[in-house]
């Protein structure tokens, strides 16, 4: 079978790690007899440089014609000044909205081999394996009004944390579907003691739970969750939450895995169901790390594990996905480490060699 | 000198820990020759039970006549159902707003004696000593519109993350004042790559910084901060942020100290200046922990350290404040521990004995 994939290397280390993701994808193609048609497009600072837009129309159009999208990273210090009219990150936000990618999945798994790489005690991390489900196209990121204005007593600015029941329902269903296929425990995170949008969130979660009697739903306040994530991380199975809470908590949780360089993500436009193909965008959760760009230092594993998520969720190629994950794990087991996860008695390798080692094990 | 203090024991373990805070305050009075007039009032579930309001008018009026307010905890599972018309937490929110307590200070200090009590590695915690400054009466907690309504396509709900430049300016000044008296490093946390309110926040922070050339200001995105707090906690000095971010991040940071039972807080209605008296409310950051209420188990240290903050900020009694802090530290050094911070070879004590031990050292 032939699959069309849009490839968006983006900025900084983006091209470095994307090359390794593509390398592993092609190894999968050879081994399992698939053909992947890769189409490279611009996003982020490189797109602004060439087109003055962080998300050129062509890029969005190409993504829409694809079976899935691979993205590496956006962001460039040259465009950091908030006063500039356009920022690389705007491209990412526009892409999420333009493709309707409402469901962001971030698995957090602490590999036994890396249990010492985190700032948390190994005994606390033992057995940590959960999935964050973050709502990605609603809430305070996108809702209107979102503006700054001047009053007689100075400037004011507002953002709106607004949710409709449809927006909440579909993301809660994603949480339940994933939990059903895992340990059947769903934690919904909100701030229902203060926010109206959280009260609606909680009500809808309870309503949807009637369709999933086999899954245990519980509610945790966002501040308590920030604490539990580092107190008892192994107790979580699936966590579902709104856009901003998900941004904060999933980055906190990333710290458990020792390095951002290890964690993949999927952003889907539908509810994932095992064996069915759902359109999505796949990216490592780390940023563009401009200071190490082009130096063969960056860890490509997050991008490679994102390829595995793409194979599973958008192409319904489960064995292929598992092959990629096993290859990455085996390379870690054999002691190979990039700079960010280096440990005594391990073998330090660069970006390209890490990609080669994993591709060779497919 | 005679001081008027309103005492709000509240719910759950509130009365247990408040009794010890009062015990230590009275020891300070005897030792240093001050007289404290304590007036007990209702708040939270106990107030709802007796008056149907979580913050009776009398309580608010009494607080306004005082030099400072001591609060222990609010919250009761009997009032957890979001559908109920009134909740204990509403009393706390109304009190913050009613007293204009816009500046919430939460010092996070990892006592050497408790460096093993946290889930983080001791070497990561070493030297951690920072203060969180959280905006407490604005943003998405209070701004209007805040509502739920029904459209032709179902329910919707909104909260408004709104800030005026005055609200931002005064809390940023609190951050700078504290940093000036400490290690002169202020981190302002926002989400300026997505939120208009954060862009205004960042602009105002930069403007105010011109008055504090001796303090180094830097900006960190809220998601990155959630990571850095557990990656490199010792790098922080003073952190200033808006209401919701502060709620989440300061609870995460509380985890560094090993137990919520150790952390005090102050909520001020003015900018604290060393040696000057600023009105404020003082409370431990932990909740009402109803399951251990009345059992002589709860850790009173957070309440006792809150008394120290009151002596310093609202009564300008700096030596008295230091005496309380040194007494608490000495008791820890001598190996006395409540349940939540118990360790091998330590001496387990109850709430009352912990209070006695600290009071005896004043
Ligand atoms: C770059 C930024 C807009 C983005 C977000 O806040 O969603 C990033 O932090 C993320 O989590 O993917
Ligand atoms: C009880 C609740 C309303 C409160 C808050 O969110 O401010 C609490 O979490 C706190 O941090 O003091």
A133-151 pLDDT, tens digit each: 999 999 999 999 999 999 9
Residue A185 banded pLDDT, cuts 50, 70, 90: very high
Name the B residues in 118-157 with CB < 8 Å from any A CB: 119-121, 124, 140-141, 143, 146-148, 151, 153-157
d(CA B43, CA A270): 46
pTM assigned to the model: 0.97
> pLDDT digit string (tens) for A64-73?
999 999 999 9
d(CA B336, CA B359): 14
Nearest atom in ligand 1 to the alpha carbon of residue A96 is 7
Name the B residues in 78-117 with CB < 8 Å from any A CB: 82, 87, 89, 93
d(CA B130, CA A148): 32
| Percent of all residues in chain A with a pLDDT value above 70, rounded to a whole number | 100
Cross-chain Cβ contact B252/A191 below 8 Å: no
Q: What's the CA-to-centroid distance between A81 and ligand 1, angstroms?
A: 17
d(CA B301, CA B328): 7
Strand A280-284, strand A264-268: pairing: antiparallel
- Alpha-helix runs per DSSP H in chain A: 14-32, 45-51, 57-64, 88-98, 122-125, 165-180, 196-209, 222-231, 243-254, 301-313, 318-333, 351-360
| Domains of chain B by start residue, with CATH | 1-104+261-362 (3.40.718.10), 118-257 (3.40.718.10)
pLDDT recorded at residue B40: 98
> pLDDT digit string (tens) for A194-237?
999 999 999 999 999 999 999 999 999 999 999 999 999 999 99
Binding residues of A for NAD(+): 287-299
pLDDT recorded at residue A96: 98
Asked whether the predicted pLDDT for residue B259 surpasses 90, the reply is no
> pLDDT digit string (tens) for A270-303?
999 888 999 999 999 999 999 999 999 999 999 9
Asked whether the predicted pLDDT for residue B274 surpasses 90, the reply is no
| Percent of all residues in chain A with a pLDDT value above 90, rounded to a whole number | 96
Cα first-last separation, chain A: 19
Cross-chain Cβ contact B196/A164 below 8 Å: no
From residue A118, give the alpha-carbon distance in Å to each of A123, A331, B236. Answer: 11, 19, 19
From residue B355, give the alpha-carbon distance in Å to each of A136, B9, B200, B358. Answer: 48, 16, 45, 5
In the block, tokens 């400054």 appear at B133
Residue A259 banded pLDDT, cuts 50, 70, 90: confident
> pLDDT digit string (tens) for B95-151?
999 999 999 999 999 999 999 999 999 999 999 999 999 999 999 999 999 999 999
Average pLDDT over every residue of A181-198 = 97
**In chain B, whose CA is at the least distance from the CA of A229?**
B252
Q: How many residues does chain B have?
A: 362
Total beta-carbon pairs less than 8 A apart between chain A and chain B: 180
């Amino acid at each position: 079978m032939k699959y069309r994939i849009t490839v968006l290397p983006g900025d900084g280390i983006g091209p470095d790690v994307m090359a390794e993701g593509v390398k592993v994808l092609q190894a999968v193609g050879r081994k399992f007899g698939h053909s992947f048609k890769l189409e490279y497009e611009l996003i982020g600072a490189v797109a602004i440089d060439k087109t003055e837009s962080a998300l050129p129309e062509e890029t969005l159009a190409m993504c829409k014609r694809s079976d899935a999208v691979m993205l590496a990273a956006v962001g460039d210090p040259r465009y950091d000044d908030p006063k500039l009219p356009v920022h690389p990150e705007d491209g990412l936000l526009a892409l999420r909205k333009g493709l309707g990618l409402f469901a962001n999945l971030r698995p957090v798994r602490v590999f036994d081999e890396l249990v010492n790489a985190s700032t948390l005690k190994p005994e606390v991390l033992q057995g940590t394996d959960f999935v964050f489900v973050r709502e990605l196209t609603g809430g305070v990121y996108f809702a209107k009004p979102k503006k700054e204005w001047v009053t007689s007593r100075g400037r004011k600015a507002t953002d709106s944390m607004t949710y409709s029941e449809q927006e909440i329902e579909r993301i809660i269903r994603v949480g339940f579907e994933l939990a059903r296929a895992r340990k059947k425990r769903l934690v919904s995170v909100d701030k229902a003691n203060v926010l109206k949008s959280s009260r609606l969130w909680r009500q809808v979660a309870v309503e949807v739970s009637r369709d999933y009697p086999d899954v245990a739903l519980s509610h945790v306040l966002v501040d308590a969750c920030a604490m539990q994530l580092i107190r008892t991380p192994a107790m979580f199975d699936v966590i579902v939450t709104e856009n901003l809470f998900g941004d904060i908590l999933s980055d906190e949780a990333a710290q458990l895995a020792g390095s951002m360089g290890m964690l993949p993500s999927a952003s889907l436009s539908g509810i994932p169901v095992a064996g069915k193909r759902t359109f999505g965008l796949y990216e490592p959760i780390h940023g563009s790390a401009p200071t190490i760009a082009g130096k063969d230092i960056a860890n490509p594993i997050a991008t490679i594990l994102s390829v595995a998520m793409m194979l599973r969720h958008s192409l319904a190629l489960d064995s292929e996905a598992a092959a990629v994950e096993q290859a990455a794990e085996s390379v870690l087991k054999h002691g190979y480490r990039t700079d960010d996860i280096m440990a005594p008695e391990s073998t330090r390798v660069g970006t390209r060699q890490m990609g080669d080692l994993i591709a060779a094990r497919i």
